[in-house]
Every structure is written in structure tokens, then in C-alpha cells.
Structure 1
Amino acid sequence: MYNAEGKFVLRRAVLNITYRCNLRCKLCVTGGPRYKVAPHYSFNYLAETMHRFFKIVDYVEWYELSGGEPFIHPDLAELIDCAMSFKKQFDKLLIITNGSLLPHSAVISAMQRHAADIMVFISDYGELSSNVKELTELLLSLNIDCKIKSYHGDNQYFGGWVDYGSWERRNDSPTDLAAKFKRCGASKMQGIFTTHAGTMHWCVRSAKGLVVDKLIPEEASDYIDLFDDALSVEQQRSKIVSLFNKPYISVCNYCDGDGDNAQRRYPAAEQLS
């Protein structure tokens, strides 16, 4: 967190800009297809969220705009420019897409302006990701780094997707919860620090459970409310530090976990009927 120069540093941070998506994946980690009206955040709200985040965090290696499907957001071009106004505070801006859509002209222009500082991760779901080839060629023509993760066929990235289970309380022991938390992919990445609805969480499931859908009992120590003006920057940083020091977080008791290599994986992006 605090480096040798006294800067407050995170490895990775994600800003969820929309839950809207053109796919209807059964095991979508945000659960986007199951909403009648999926959560979606305005440019002004997201710009203020970025401002508040970078007031607390001096530097993050990867800053990610995610969804849902980011290319659906009508203000993505402006959001890219806004993120780049904080360029001195991160290494790369990541955009995660499902490979089914091509960015509109304003987004292409924004990416071209900042080509050296953007990386696009394309999740390739086979027939569902109908524009992977054209998108890849476009990005390469703009000198934008891109990486394709294959999620179709017999050799899916990381073996496919995980089913985190229902939102029923597991009643696991503290020892089992700590072991689950330690095995979790989010913990192995030193926290994903994903921001949803102005609150920053260790993982997406925590964001959904505590704030977005309020599916589990409130536990304010498990997230950072970026819009809480009663707390100073140092107090907000202390809350982040405390997350690193917790043996587990409350959502672990409402999750089957994902860190066991023997845990069953499922074919990615299976669609709801």
C-alpha cells in the first residue's frame, strides 16, 4: 500500500461503468442479465467517482473500465479522456470487452489519442464474440495493445467460469472462511478493488451483496464509500489498509469461492434462454 516514497499504491482497481450488456450469460459475475433495469452510471457521476478515487490512491498499476459491456456506454469516449486526466497516477488503462461489438467513432478517436496508455482485453466467446477479428485488426492499426482470452472450445482460459453459488448464508466457521478468502482469486491479486455505485470493494460479489443489490447484512468496514465526506483521505486509506489485514470479509459467508483448482468450472458465457 504505502511504498518506499510514502505513496499510497494499489496493484489493480476497477471502475464499473454499467451493468448493461448485449449478452445474457448465466454465470455473469455482475448478474447483469437478471435485472429488469440494469444499473448504469452517468458520465458526471463516474467522473466524480474517478476524482475521489485518485484523491485517495496515489498510484495504481492497472486502472480498468469494466461492465457489463463498456462499449455500450454512450459516454465511453469521454470517460476514457477523463481517466487519462489522471494518467500520472496509473500505468495502463484497461478496457474489458466481450468481442461482440465494435466501438463507435468517438471511442475510436479517444483510444487513438491515448493509444500508448491503453490496453484492451477481449474475452472471446466463440460465435457470440462475432467481431473479435475485426476489433483486433482495428486496435492493432491504432497501435493499441490488446490481449485475447479464449473462452470457447475445449481449452478455455482458466478452465472456464465459476459458479459462486446462491446468496444463502453458508454458516462456515471462521477458520473455513479465512481459508476460503486466502484461496480466492481476488486475494491472490491483492484485491480487485472494484468500484460500484461510488463504493470500492475487495471483489465484485462484495459490491453486489453489500451495496448494489443489498443481499447481505450491512458491514461498513468491508468497503470504502468514496462519497463519504465525513472521512478524511487518511481515514479512507486506513479503511483500505484494514481490508488487507482482515482474515476474511462478510461476503465470504455468502459465496462458494473460486480459488480451489479442483473446483468445478463451467463453459463460459452460456446464455439464458
Structure 2
Amino acid sequence: MQKDIILVPFNMDAIYALHVLENERDVVVSGFFDNNEVLAHKRYAGKSIYPPFYRNDTEILICAHQLSTREALKAQMADIGYLPEQIVILDSETLAQKKSSVLEQVRLADIARLKPLMAFLASHEVRKKRMLKFLQAPDENHFFHTFDDIQGVKIPKSFFGAEKKQHIILRVLTLYVTDKCSLRCKYCAAGKQYYEPREMKDVPLATMMKDYRRMLELVDWIDTLELLGGEPFLRRDLDEIINGICQNPMLRAKVGQLLIVTNATIVPREAVLHAMAQYENVIVQISNYCSASNQINRLVEALERWGIRYVVADFQGPGRGWTKIMQIEQDRSELSTQALRSKREHGCITQCNSVKEGKFYLCDLLVTMHDLHAVPNEQGMSIDIYDANAKEKIARYLSYDEPLPPACSWCSGCSSEAWNAKNIPAAEQIGYPIVLRRYTN
């Protein structure tokens, strides 16, 4: 009897394991499980990538190196219903011995379609083996690469040419379109719970487009360009924003996908639906907050009618809530440089780099702190993207060799353990903004 296997998660080791296992006569690989909604129902080598679900008579093969990731995936599979004897950890040593034998079977074209960063790398004329070695860099750490040392993977200088160069690759770049929101969530990670109504404004269209063009000059690749609010569908001119972004000739060369994040309280105008439908790299991410997302059915119907790609991030149910992270602390004592370095290493996993009105920020909460003058020391909080040395400054800002900016002293943090806790209800609403002390700098 053939053994039915599903590989978890979708990564380079899972890809290698697929090709190794396909050489075994008594094994059938049915596909991949991955929690990344953007990968949902995509395909590699004819195998689908699914959000995790229960399937009887199936063995789960976990293809992860980090012990914490393995344990988290084992726990998730057990919660879904898989028994301990159905869950197996990939034998990394055996796989390492067999990688070279299946190297030529790896389908770079499929990977390029699934992983935008890899499409960028595939455009370089390098030998296949060297590129695949490069792609083994941990996916969660690829947002910043500098010179010829990529997350501990030494790349020959010939990969980028003999001259050392600096490359900035962002996993997520948020372009703020508005502070206005149709909800007021108590634990909003973007910090909108602190804004007074009079402080919520739209970013001018001309400013947004100028900042977008400038960022395309500064960075080498953006996996996901994210339009965020507030609620983006509150913008009356969102169709102009989408057209302005997608019609830029540099888009295909430097941006993987355009993600529009909505709380499903508003169905966009026909002009916005028409704009989104024109471009294949536009995806709408629907955050499903159950009763709060009161237009979700109408929104999904409209998106399907126009043939617009979308994913649903479901935040209701066990293990799908929110985490009380990235809140502005009331204590305003500034941490030491050493403490900030420690916080960078252990208490800050955010990769949501943001741009708003000519400034580049490490994360969304720093944008809020700046807007509301919520900290006594704004030094180093952002980078002026129009500075002559902006690229070098952004590179240092992103580097883990540099401490966090002083403003991060007043953030509650975002460790990997806290991020995975999911222990509070999603989208809990409050009637009034949370009061913050304001400073004049």
C-alpha cells in the first residue's frame, strides 16, 4: 500500500524532499501545507499548497530546521486532528546527502511564480546550483541582504560581480494611504487606537506616488507592497493609487505583489474594483473579524464577480485570535543601547517596514509615535528617503548590527513567542481613543 504524505511547510527543504520522495515507489506526495495565506491553493510541480486541514490516512512530514518551528507545527497538526504517529520530522542529514541527486529536478519557474524574491534572483545569469544554494537562506530572514554574505550563506562575489554591492530586499513595505478606519480596535498593531478623529487624515495622492517612485529607486526588491490604513477602501481615489502603482514600468522588475488589506466593512466602488481587476499581481487580503466584518459576504461576491484575487485571514476560533503586541507603553524611560540591542534580538521580529510622507520607518507603530508626538526623543525614528545617502542609511537601519532607534523603548515589543500566542479576542472595539501623553520636540 502506498504511503500518502503531505509536506509542511512550503520551503526549499520541502521542495527537495518532494523530489527525493517521488523517486520512492511506495510514496505519494499529495501536496504541501502552509500557513501563508498568499500561497494558498498555488501549485509547485503539480502539487497544491493548502492551508492546513485534516485528512485521514495521511502522514505529515515536517520540513523545518528550527526546533521552535517544528514544535509549533507539530502542535498545530495535533490540534487539527493528526495523531502523533502520523507526524514525522524530516531527516535533515539524509536529505542533505540526496540534495545533489535531485538538484536538476527543482522547478525554478514554479518557484519564481510562488516566491517573488526568487523570481528576482532567477533573472540573474548564474549557475543553477549556486542560485539554489542562495535560495536556501531562511525565508523569514531574507528581508535585508548586504554585500556577499546573505544570512550566513556565503555567496561568491561573481554572483553580484567582483565589486561589493549593497542590496536591500524587503519582505513587506507598507505604503500608508489613510489613518481613517471604520473600526477602532483596542489592540490595533498599526496604533490607530491612539488617534483622535481630528488627527486621522489621508496621505495626499501626489505624496504617495512620489514616495513610491523614490522607494523603487532605493531598494532592489519588495516581496509585498502593502496598502494599509486605517481602512484603504475609505479612500475615494484608491483607483488612482492602484493605477499609479501598477502602471509604473519598474513594478515588474522590483515588486512581487500589491496587497490591499481590508477589514471587510466596506465594499469598494466600481472604479476601484475595475482598477484591481486589471492587474494580476493585485491581491486583496480580507481580515475576517466575524461580526465586525459585516460586509464580508458582499465584498467576496464583488471580488469574485470581477475576477480579483483575494485571500481570507480568519481571526475567529481557537488559536486564531490576536496577540497583545506592539502597543505604546505609558512608561517613558529610555532604554540603554545594550537593552535596545537585546530587544532587537529577542523582542522585535516585525518586518513591516513602512513609508509615510517621505519617511521610512522600521514598523507601523513608529509611524504612529511620530504622528502623535508620543515619545520625548524622536532621534533616529525614521529615515528621510530623499536624503542623498538614504540607501546607505536604510541599510544600516535594517541591519541587525545596529541597535533599535530610541523610540523602540516605548513599544511593548513583538517577540516570536508573543506573536504566536494568539490569546486575546480579535478586533475588540473601544468607544474612545486611548489617551497618550504628547510631547513637543
TM-score w.r.t. the length of structure 1 is 0.85
Alpha-carbon contact 2:288-2:314 (below 8 Å) kept: yes
Matched, 1:19 2:179: yes
1:166 is matched with which residue: 323, 329, 337?
329
- Higher RCO (CA 8 Å, separation ≥ 6 residues): 1
CA 1:175 to 1:212, structure 2 compared with 1: closer, same or farther past 3 Å? same
What letter matches 1:193 in structure 2? N
CA 1:264 to 1:93, structure 2 compared with 1: closer, same or farther past 3 Å? closer
Report the Cα distance in structure 2 between the residues aligned to 1:76 and 1:11, rounded to whole angstroms. 23
| Secondary structure of 1:261's aligned partner | helix
Report the Cα distance in structure 1 between the residues aligned to 2:413 and 2:259, rounded to whole angstroms. 25
What letter matches 2:196 in structure 1? Y
State the shift of 1:196 in Å: 2.1
Q: Which residue of 1 aligns with 2:237?
A: 75
Q: Cα deviations across residues 83-107 of structure 1 (Å, max 9, x unaligned)?
A: 1133222010010000111111010
Report the Cα distance in structure 1 between the residues aligned to 2:300 and 2:225, rounded to whole angstroms. 21
Matched, 1:254 2:410: yes
Q: Which residue of 1 aligns with 2:96?
A: none
State the shift of 1:139 in Å: 2.4
Q: Which residue of 1 aligns with 2:428?
A: 270
TM-score w.r.t. the length of structure 2 is 0.55
CA 1:149 to 1:170, structure 2 compared with 1: closer, same or farther past 3 Å? farther
Matched, 1:213 2:366: no
What letter matches 2:404 in structure 1? Y
Report the Cα distance in structure 1 between the residues aligned to 2:361 and 2:308, rounded to whole angstroms. 29
Matched, 1:103 2:265: no
What letter matches 2:281 in structure 1? D
What letter matches 2:345 in structure 1? K
What letter matches 1:94 in structure 2? L
CA 1:24 to 1:174, structure 2 compared with 1: closer, same or farther past 3 Å? same
What letter matches 1:22 in structure 2? S
State the shift of 1:207 in Å: 1.8
1:194 is matched with which residue: 354, 359, 363?
354
Q: Which residue of 2 aligns with 1:225?
A: 384
What letter matches 1:252 in structure 2? C
What letter matches 2:395 in structure 1? V
Q: Which residue of 1 aligns with 2:395?
A: 241
Report the Cα distance in structure 1 between the residues aligned to 2:293 and 2:146, rounded to whole angstroms. 40
Alpha-carbon contact 2:225-2:255 (below 8 Å) kept: yes
Matched, 1:36 2:197: yes
What letter matches 1:248 in structure 2? L
Alignment root-mean-square deviation, CA: 2.4
State the shift of 1:68 in Å: 0.3
CA 1:221 to 1:14, structure 2 compared with 1: closer, same or farther past 3 Å? same
Report the Cα distance in structure 2 between the residues aligned to 1:63 and 1:57, rounded to whole angstroms. 12
State the shift of 1:264 in Å: 7.8
Q: Which residue of 2 aligns with 1:125?
A: 289
CA 1:10 to 1:163, structure 2 compared with 1: closer, same or farther past 3 Å? closer
Q: Which residue of 1 aligns with 2:346?
A: 183
CA 1:76 to 1:21, structure 2 compared with 1: closer, same or farther past 3 Å? same
Report the Cα distance in structure 1 between the residues aligned to 2:383 and 2:178, rounded to whole angstroms. 19
| Secondary structure of 1:269's aligned partner | coil
| Secondary structure of 2:409's aligned partner | helix
Report the Cα distance in structure 2 between the residues aligned to 1:160 and 1:152, rounded to whole angstroms. 13
Q: Pick which of 117-126 and 143-152 moved more.
A: 143-152
| Secondary structure of 2:226's aligned partner | strand
State the shift of 1:152 in Å: 2.6
Report the Cα distance in structure 2 between the residues aligned to 1:9 and 1:261, rounded to whole angstroms. 25
Q: Pick which of 148-157 and 200-209 moved more.
A: 148-157
2:304 is matched with which residue: 136, 140, 144?
140
Alpha-carbon contact 1:98-1:125 (below 8 Å) kept: yes
CA 1:167 to 1:40, structure 2 compared with 1: closer, same or farther past 3 Å? farther
State the shift of 1:178 in Å: 2.3
CA 1:260 to 1:192, structure 2 compared with 1: closer, same or farther past 3 Å? closer
Q: Pick which of 95-104 and 132-141 moved more.
A: 132-141
State the shift of 1:170 in Å: 4.3
Gaps of 5+ in 1: none
Q: Pick which of 130-139 and 82-91 moved more.
A: 130-139
Aligned length: 262
* Matched-pair identity in %: 26
Matched, 1:47 2:209: yes
Report the Cα distance in structure 2 between the residues aligned to 1:221 and 1:121, rounded to whole angstroms. 32
Alpha-carbon contact 2:349-2:416 (below 8 Å) kept: no
Q: Cα deviations across residues 59-86 of structure 1 (Å, max 9, x unaligned)?
A: 2111111100000011100000111133
Report the Cα distance in structure 2 between the residues aligned to 1:261 and 1:56, rounded to whole angstroms. 33
State the shift of 1:186 in Å: 4.1
